[in-house]
Amino acid sequence: MRLVISGGTGLIGGALARAALAAGDEVFILSRNPAPERLPQGAQGVAWDAQRPEMWQEALEGADAVVNLAGASVAGGRWTEKRKALLRQSRVRVGESLAQAILQLKHPPRVLVQASGVGYYGRRVESPVDESAPPGSDFLARLAAEAWEPSTAPVETRGVRRVIIRTGLVLSAEGGSLPLMALPFRLFLGGPMGDGRQWVPWIHLHDEVAAIRFLIAHPDATGPFNLVAPGIVRNAKFGRLLAQTLHRPYWFPTPAPLLRLVLGEMASLILEGQRAVPRRLLELGFTFRYPHLEEALRQLFEHH
């Protein structure tokens, strides 16, 4: 398979590229800095510039699949107005540029996988939400529903099958949020965040990559899919299992007002979770290697 990834130097993109290369696929990574040392060994870097599609458009010609994972991290800093603009622009600009380039191809890709997040559903605390649930009204929900997901919608006019992956918290010991979440526990300061009752929609990095590859290969896969493990837990249980895995105490709570003071609006990432369920993924027959949090954490920390 010929696979093109935007955002291929990030946690998910890098793991996806390595898995594809191990399977014998040809992998091209669109990047503003495609230096070989930043890419998985064997991947081909393509210089990316949204204003100059002639630099990278040829890489899309005849591709089997394009995976758009580009976008600044929502956890990369306080959500000032400037930061919010960056979060939106970094997603929309890449998506729209990819879509416009694909519309001009003689041989467009068979499938495009568009990244999104479970934040699409807004600040739902108790009710389970599958892919049929409407979007929320907070910042992340509007970003996903009004800008991020629609950015690549025009490719469907060329008959390109489009899959939207609404991903939860991706667990990896090599990067992302988990090492930061584990740090207070390693320092014997771990405990619940806020009241601990908020749901934590999570997925092991292995299953995230496997699900993307499954959806690329499955001809009936189209539209949104929640990429979250079926064994969703509340924040309090997540913390207890993390403490147990690290052989640390679980006792030092972080009050919600303190988190809001330190993080501002971004505290919603920690204090408000969606009880997202992977209904459509399971209906298509996908099997999770790590459906339960305890075995996922054990594998990640014991492996490293």
pLDDT, residue 156, reads 98
Q: Tokens standing for 219?
A: 């001809």
The number of folded domains in the chain is: 1
Note whether residue 262 is domain-resident.
no
Note whether residue 58 is domain-resident.
yes
Domain range holding 153? Answer: 2-170+204-229+274-289
pLDDT, residue 125, reads 66
Note whether residue 253 is domain-resident.
no
pLDDT, residue 229, reads 98
pLDDT digits (tens, 9 = 90+) for 274-297: 999 999 999 999 999 999 999 999
Confidence (pTM): 0.95
Torsion of CA 231, 232, 233, 239, to 10 degrees: 90
Phi, psi angle pair for 281, to nearest 5°: -65, -45
Note whether residue 263 is domain-resident.
no
Report the C-alpha gap between 49 and 94 in whole angstroms: 9
Note whether residue 154 is domain-resident.
yes
Note whether residue 251 is domain-resident.
no
Answer yes or no: are the C-beta atoms of 189 and 251 closer than 8 Å.
Answer: no
Q: In which residue ranges of the chain is pLDDT below 70?
A: 125, 304
pLDDT, residue 304, reads 62
Three-state DSSP state, 162:
strand
Three-state DSSP state, 47:
strand
CATH, residue 48: 3.40.50.720
Q: Which contacts qualify for 129-137: CB closer than 8 Å, 24 or more apart? A: 129/226, 129/274, 129/275, 129/276, 129/277, 130/226, 130/276, 130/277, 130/279, 130/280, 131/166, 131/223, 131/224, 131/225, 131/226, 131/279, 131/280
pLDDT, residue 50, reads 81
Note whether residue 143 is domain-resident.
yes
Q: Tokens standing for 90?
A: 């970094």
Note whether residue 27 is domain-resident.
yes
Q: Would you give the end-to-end CA distance of the chain in angstroms?
A: 31
